[in-house]
Amino acid sequence: MFKPVENKRVYQQVVDQIQNMIFDGSLKAGDKLPAERDMVKLFKVSRTSIREAVRALDILGLVECRQGDGNFIRKEFDTGLFEPLSVMFKLHNGNALELFKVRKMLEIEAVALAVEQITNAQRNELKFIMERLAKADTEEKKVKLDAEFHFKIIEASNNYLLKCFYNAVSSIMKSFISDARKIFLKAEKMNKLSELHKDIYEAIISGDPDKAKESIQKHFDFVIENFEK
């Protein structure tokens, strides 16, 4: 199962072995890794190397460390991409415009999938979000419902990897660009955003993927245009 490793880049070799075991099915979601002292014996490396390897796997989003219980292969990876992508975002001086453009690309394809995959329950959830959005009387409520609306589209696409990427991009935006929506505080801009959301919703409900993609594109074109100004 586990193999002794060479002494060059020791912790990376431990990481590689565990990754390969995930790929070949030897380790599955939810499996517990051996205790640190046991991994030291199995890999024939130092505790420091094991700790570095586990930390690297944690950063990669493959392993979650539960205090007092041990290290486990993640069952859910929805947020696992956030940390490495957020580090890259900061190191390369990423900006909000880049994030909006990535979201645009993801959501144009996601909304077409959503039209095909959406369930009756998800249609009702989207309808409920739209009803609450129309009645929202504070910016805080509107921001929350706006996020719910877009996430529901991603969820309805029924594509797990797409959901993981979207969550990572959205989380970076929340973490680093808390005031991004301030550009839409004027009433006419808020009204325009509401109209665009309504167009997206109606296209999804009517089962028209081309119209849905067009509506999402108009939404993000409007957002990006105003952000650039």
Domains observed in the chain: 10-73 (1.10.10.10), 82-228 (1.20.120.530)
pLDDT at 186: 62
**E strands, 122-175, in order:** none
pLDDT at 188: 64
pLDDT at 85: 73
Per-residue pLDDT tens over the stretch 199-227: 999 999 999 999 999 999 999 999 888 87
pLDDT at 14: 93
Q: Is the pTM of this model over 0.85?
A: no
Q: Give the count of alpha carbons within 13 A of 31, CB side only.
A: 11
Residues with pLDDT less than 70, the chain = 1-2, 5-8, 77-84, 175-188
d(Cα 214, Cα 124) in Å, to the nearest integer? 22
pLDDT at 183: 59
In terms of Cβ atoms closer than 10 Å to its own Cβ (0-12, 13-18, 19+), residue 80 is buried
CA 204, 165, 140, 120 dihedral sign is: positive
